[in-house]
Chains A and B, each alone.
Chain A
Amino acid sequence: MIAFAALLERLAFTPGRNAKIALLRRYFATTPDPDRGIGLAALTGELAFATAKPALIRELAAARTDPVLFGWSYDYVGDLAETVALMWPAAATSAAPPRLAEVVATLGGAARGDLPGIVAGWLDASDAPVRLALLKLITGGLRVGISARLAKVALAGLAAGRIEADAIEEVWHGLAPPYEALFAWIEGRGPRPDPEDAPVFRPPMLAHPLEPEDFATLDPALLHAEWKWDGIRVQLVATAGGRRLYSRGADDISAAFPEIIEAMAFRGVLDGELLVMRDGAVAPFADLQQRLNRKTVSARMLRDFPAGVRLYDLLFDGAEDLRPQPFAARRARLEAWYARVCPPRMDLSEIIDFASLDELAALRAGARAASIEGLMLKRRDAPYVPGRPRGLWWKWKRAPLTIDAVLMYAQRGHGKRSSFYSDYTFGLWRDDVLVPVGKAYSGFTDAELVWLDRWVRNHTTARFGPVREVEKSLVLEVAFDAAQLSARHKSGVALRFPRIARLRTDKPAAEADRLESLLRLVGRVSAVAG
């Protein structure tokens, strides 16, 4: 548990992706089996405990601590598990802190009545970081913020270049904790684990943004075009071993979309876009968001936000791997498969007819539905290649919308940007007050960042920890892909992918856009989509 607790402690404070990978790699390289595999499962959310309820922790604390001091301490710290971890009194014990595998095995077999004694014994034998990790683990509150993908990238780091993260992906969902066969394979001590019939995830093929310089190289005769829908990219896997719905990042989201799982009465692997669809019309992304990140889903949710999948590609038909075949052949197979299987809640992504790139550009410019992000261009002869290969697939996003907003707050970045104010909260006018409408931390050049940072420092009016409030006088042109009504935002509207397009030092703040104009834009766009 010591190494695992130390890892959690560092991850909790480490914002950088590369730094997280380095920390994970060190943990996997230096922790023995089976603890590291259990740790991997805990990090990727494969281990879900709710053995101990917060009430158990309260009881233990009440038995061992002064209630008055506990109350003051809890007020100060603000988190139950952390308060107990920090104030748990030292006990005279020679016991070593439990190993992670021991904790998991013991919890699995423990009778409910024995639990308080077992946990108290562990807490006695541990120091504060281990106690915190233990309490978070057994109450199911780890929340490390590590994607499964990141863990696999770190695991691949142990293989010294012999095995890619994508290869781990293809066996991952056929494996179970403590993953000893996986570690043996990665470390060159054993064969590749055979997933057999398990419904494993296949790393998806991704597109590059279409840059102006790409145009000269494109031959319309070699290309397929499809709409790019604003949902989430998913993979549907149905084998003799089961049915799964995976996100693009290999997260198993089956439980949140039971209607899709139910509709998967076939054997194969498909690539598509998960959308909320009502009578074939695609709802805005905000509707889909209601369904995401849920462990279970209510009947009401299923009724009000019905999910469907727009199919892009067929990777496996039964057990037959179609990925080496060219896109045109796979598309033909997909159409034949769809006609044969007729899966409910699914439709085919439309292939757009076009004769020239100019015609395509006109179609792209004419698409106003909020649920369309732009176009996808795919080479007819391209096999399905995991990752982001060059020169095969392009995404040609719709020209962004823009608003002129006023900079309100700035926050320091992390890592290389830790001495720069690089996260900007901007707002629009409602009557004569500015209402924050979004946050952007990209889009500017390095030179603009230096300029912005200096401007923030010279125009600060108040400080709140790492955040500075600034004079409301700098106008930023903010580009974004779509705007949606949102009850969660103070302004009532949420922007998709906002970024700083230009610094409008020429424009007085009073002439920045008004919130009404953004709301009108949302209304108009939704109306078209509906």
Chain B
Amino acid sequence: MTPPHPRTWLKVTPAGLWCEPGDFHIDPLRPVARAVVTHAHSDHARPGHEAVLASPATLALMRTRMGEGAGRTRQPLGWGERLRLGAVDVWLEPAGHVLGAAQVAMEYAGSRAVVSGDYKRRADPTCAGFVPIPCDVFVTEATFALPVFRHPPADAEIARLLASVLLFPERTHLVGCYSLGKCQRLIALLRAAGWDRPIWLHGAHVALCAAYEALGVPLGDLRPATAAAKADLAGAIVLAPPAAAGERWARRLADPVVCAASGWMRVRGRARQGGVELPLVISDHADWDELVATLREVAAPEVWVTHGREEALIHEAAKYGIAGHALRLLGYGEEDEAAA
């Protein structure tokens, strides 16, 4: 008997992607009985599910972000541990996106599908690296699926930031970045580049940095920017949500150089829209080359493409004999616009 095609058992429903023989949803958009969550960003991890299955770090980060809303029962699953749900074997492998971010692998009657969630392929000291899983259907994100998005090495971008701090020692460098993942990766990159001075945080970033540290990711000397004397902030690096530069909160800073760390910063028009003075191209998503390489590596004959620029990736996949389909799941990518 030929194994059933994943389209017969993995379906798009109004609540999101549903695995019928396992009776669970992956990153559901509304409250469900059983959810498998790839990572803790708010467009993937939503509150109010009955049972949540995720990596231990994702469950911990969900607790930090949504408290009781993180699911009535929460079941951690370590990397590579297989679990039987209904008639389906489920396991998680790292996606390399943020701490705890997982790909969900499912095997049913000899047919295997992998939902990548959001992923990247670059080394990231704050989370486990992406593990390719050969499969029959690979469900991929496509946030940066245009060939104009090729992320430069992150350490070179950090070097640009530090060179700017050196050139403008009397000013504060305010780096707009998303509070979960990007913020901690930036801190880790700065530490790796030898920046051992205090890094100052906007209030929105404090709790998640503490959660990362509790999960074993050391971030060094972090301090709340609200507690800083004005003199402390001259020549300092402050991390805050991207919108904070325009808020009254920013008046404590010394003539800030407004920076933003995101894959969108690659395109000048996008960087200009935000009023950014120093755009840093640092992303937690795969760039174009990495998306294409990943499709070839997992060698699935078929890919389903979720949020982003599906048409370009499907067009490219066809050159390698990979059949691509756009998976119309509304609701993803909302957090990523700021976070990517």
Contact residues of A with B, CB < 8 Å?
6, 10, 12-15, 19, 22-23, 26, 65-66, 68-69, 72-73, 76-79, 82-83, 86-87, 89-90, 127-128, 412, 414-416, 418-419, 465-466
In the complex the two chains form, is B146's CB within 8 Å of A69's CB?
A: yes
Shortest distance from the beta carbon of B60 to any chain A beta carbon, whole Å: 34
In the complex the two chains form, is A77's CB within 8 Å of B168's CB?
A: no
Kindly list chain A residues whose C-beta atoms are within 8 Å of the C-beta of B69: none
In the complex the two chains form, is B146's CB within 8 Å of A10's CB?
A: no
Q: Does B290 contact A (CB under 8 A)?
A: no
Please, how many angstroms separate the alpha-carbon atoms of A10 and B309 in the complex?
A: 29
CB-CB contacts below 8 Å: B222-256 with A = 245-251, 255-256
Please, how many angstroms separate the alpha-carbon atoms of A76 and B308 in the complex?
A: 13
Q: Which of B152, B168, B256, B269 meets A418, CB within 8 Å?
A: B256
Kindly list chain A residues whose C-beta atoms are within 8 Å of the C-beta of B251: 419
In the complex the two chains form, is B312's CB within 8 Å of A69's CB?
A: yes
In the complex the two chains form, is A86's CB within 8 Å of B266's CB?
A: yes
The total of chain B residues at the interface (CB under 8 A) is: 40
The 10 closest A-B pairs by CB, nearest first: A86-B148, A419-B250, A87-B147, A73-B148, A466-B275, A87-B148, A465-B273, A13-B277, A416-B255, A419-B251
Q: Does B274 contact A (CB under 8 A)?
A: yes
A13-B274 CB under 8 A given contacts A416-B255, A419-B251: no
Kindly list chain A residues whose C-beta atoms are within 8 Å of the C-beta of B168: 19, 22
Kindly list chain B residues whose C-beta atoms are within 8 Å of the C-beta of A419: 245-251
Please, how many angstroms separate the alpha-carbon atoms of A26 and B166 in the complex?
A: 11
Please, how many angstroms separate the alpha-carbon atoms of A475 and B206 in the complex?
A: 42
Q: Can you list 25 pairs linking A and B with CB atoms under 8 Å apart?
A: A10-B278, A13-B272, A19-B168, A19-B277, A22-B168, A66-B315, A69-B312, A69-B315, A69-B316, A72-B312, A73-B148, A78-B269, A82-B267, A82-B268, A87-B146, A87-B150, A90-B289, A128-B152, A414-B275, A418-B245, A418-B258, A419-B246, A419-B247, A465-B275, A466-B275
Please, how many angstroms separate the alpha-carbon atoms of A90 and B152 in the complex?
A: 12
Q: Does B129 contact A (CB under 8 A)?
A: no
Question: Residue on A with the closest CB to B319?
Answer: A66
Shortest distance from the beta carbon of A1 to any chain B beta carbon, whole Å: 16
Kindly list chain A residues whose C-beta atoms are within 8 Å of the C-beta of B245: 418-419
In the complex the two chains form, is B278's CB within 8 Å of A13's CB?
A: yes
Q: Which of A89, A128, A418 meets B275, CB within 8 Å?
A: A418
In the complex the two chains form, is A86's CB within 8 Å of B267's CB?
A: yes
Kindly list chain A residues whose C-beta atoms are within 8 Å of the C-beta of B279: 13
Kindly list chain A residues whose C-beta atoms are within 8 Å of the C-beta of B164: 10
A76-B275 CB under 8 A given contacts A418-B245, A418-B258, A419-B245: no
Q: Which of B147, B149, B274 meets A65, CB within 8 Å?
A: B147
Kindly list chain A residues whose C-beta atoms are within 8 Å of the C-beta of B152: 127-128
Please, how many angstroms separate the alpha-carbon atoms of A82 and B147 in the complex?
A: 12
Kindly list chain A residues whose C-beta atoms are within 8 Å of the C-beta of B312: 69, 72
Kindly list chain A residues whose C-beta atoms are within 8 Å of the C-beta of B269: 77-79
Shortest distance from the beta carbon of A422 to any chain B beta carbon, whole Å: 12
Kindly list chain B residues whose C-beta atoms are within 8 Å of the C-beta of A412: 246, 275
Inter-chain contact total with CB atoms closer than 8 Å: 90
Q: Which of A10, A19, A76 meets B148, CB within 8 Å?
A: A76
Question: Residue on A with the closest CB to B266?
Answer: A86
Please, how many angstroms separate the alpha-carbon atoms of A367 and B131 in the complex?
A: 80
Q: Does B167 contact A (CB under 8 A)?
A: yes
Please, how many angstroms separate the alpha-carbon atoms of A14 and B276 in the complex?
A: 9
CB-CB contacts below 8 Å: B150-182 with A = 150, 152, 160, 164, 167-168
Kindly list chain A residues whose C-beta atoms are within 8 Å of the C-beta of B275: 412, 414, 418, 465-466
Kindly list chain A residues whose C-beta atoms are within 8 Å of the C-beta of B311: 72
Question: What mask results when residues 283 to 312 of chain B are scored 1 for a CB within 8 Å of chain A, else 0?
Answer: 000000100000000000000000001011
Shortest distance from the beta carbon of B84 to any chain A beta carbon, whole Å: 43
In the complex the two chains form, is B148's CB within 8 Å of A83's CB?
A: yes
Q: Does B95 contact A (CB under 8 A)?
A: no
Q: Does B90 contact A (CB under 8 A)?
A: no
Contact residues of B with A, CB < 8 Å?
146-150, 152, 160, 164, 167-168, 245-251, 255-258, 266-269, 271-279, 289, 309, 311-312, 315-316
Kindly list chain A residues whose C-beta atoms are within 8 Å of the C-beta of B255: 415-416
A13-B271 CB under 8 A given contacts A19-B168, A87-B148, A415-B255: yes
Shortest distance from the beta carbon of A340 to any chain B beta carbon, whole Å: 54
Shortest distance from the beta carbon of A64 to any chain B beta carbon, whole Å: 11
In the complex the two chains form, is B277's CB within 8 Å of A15's CB?
A: yes
Question: Residue on A with the closest CB to B249?
Answer: A419
Question: Residue on A with the closest CB to B156?
Answer: A127
Question: Residue on B with the closest CB to A453?
Answer: B248
Shortest distance from the beta carbon of B157 to any chain A beta carbon, whole Å: 11
Shortest distance from the beta carbon of B326 to any chain A beta carbon, whole Å: 14
Shortest distance from the beta carbon of A247 to any chain B beta carbon, whole Å: 28
In the complex the two chains form, is A72's CB within 8 Å of B272's CB?
A: no
Please, how many angstroms separate the alpha-carbon atoms of A87 and B266 in the complex?
A: 11
Kindly list chain A residues whose C-beta atoms are within 8 Å of the C-beta of B250: 418-419
A73-B278 CB under 8 A given contacts A26-B167, A86-B266, A418-B258: no
In the complex the two chains form, is B150's CB within 8 Å of A14's CB?
A: no
Kindly list chain B residues whose C-beta atoms are within 8 Å of the C-beta of A128: 150, 152, 266
In the complex the two chains form, is A79's CB within 8 Å of B268's CB?
A: yes
For A26, A415, A418, which residue has the most chain B Cβ atoms within 10 angstroms? A418
Please, how many angstroms separate the alpha-carbon atoms of A37 and B148 in the complex?
A: 32
Please, how many angstroms separate the alpha-carbon atoms of A72 and B289 in the complex?
A: 16
Shortest distance from the beta carbon of B318 to any chain A beta carbon, whole Å: 10
Please, how many angstroms separate the alpha-carbon atoms of A466 and B251 in the complex?
A: 17
Kindly list chain A residues whose C-beta atoms are within 8 Å of the C-beta of B266: 86, 128
In the complex the two chains form, is B167's CB within 8 Å of A22's CB?
A: yes
Kindly list chain B residues whose C-beta atoms are within 8 Å of the C-beta of A87: 146-148, 150
A68-B246 CB under 8 A given contacts A13-B272, A82-B267: no
Please, how many angstroms separate the alpha-carbon atoms of A73 and B269 in the complex?
A: 13
Shortest distance from the beta carbon of B280 to any chain A beta carbon, whole Å: 11
Kindly list chain B residues whose C-beta atoms are within 8 Å of the C-beta of A12: 268
In the complex the two chains form, is B268's CB within 8 Å of A72's CB?
A: no
Question: Residue on A with the closest CB to B248?
Answer: A419
Kindly list chain A residues whose C-beta atoms are within 8 Å of the C-beta of B258: 418
Please, how many angstroms separate the alpha-carbon atoms of A466 and B246 in the complex?
A: 8
Shortest distance from the beta carbon of B339 to any chain A beta carbon, whole Å: 18
Question: Residue on B with the closest CB to A87?
Answer: B147
For A15, A83, A415, A419, which residue has the most chain B Cβ atoms within 10 angstroms? A419
In the complex the two chains form, is A73's CB within 8 Å of B146's CB?
A: yes
Q: Which of B146, B150, B248, B271 meets A72, CB within 8 Å?
A: B146
Please, how many angstroms separate the alpha-carbon atoms of A154 and B251 in the complex?
A: 29
A76-B267 CB under 8 A given contacts A22-B168, A69-B146, A419-B251: yes
A14-B277 CB under 8 A given contacts A22-B168, A418-B250: yes
Kindly list chain B residues whose C-beta atoms are within 8 Å of the C-beta of A466: 246, 273-275
Please, how many angstroms separate the alpha-carbon atoms of A217 and B248 in the complex?
A: 44
Shortest distance from the beta carbon of A129 to any chain B beta carbon, whole Å: 8
Shortest distance from the beta carbon of A68 to any chain B beta carbon, whole Å: 6
Kindly list chain B residues whose C-beta atoms are within 8 Å of the C-beta of A22: 167-168
Please, how many angstroms separate the alpha-carbon atoms of A466 and B243 in the complex?
A: 10
Please, how many angstroms separate the alpha-carbon atoms of A15 and B258 in the complex?
A: 11
Please, how many angstroms separate the alpha-carbon atoms of A26 and B167 in the complex?
A: 8
Shortest distance from the beta carbon of A275 to any chain B beta carbon, whole Å: 37
In the complex the two chains form, is A77's CB within 8 Å of B278's CB?
A: no
Please, how many angstroms separate the alpha-carbon atoms of A393 and B273 in the complex?
A: 43
Shortest distance from the beta carbon of B114 to any chain A beta carbon, whole Å: 25
Q: Which of A14, A19, A68, A465 meets B315, CB within 8 Å?
A: A68
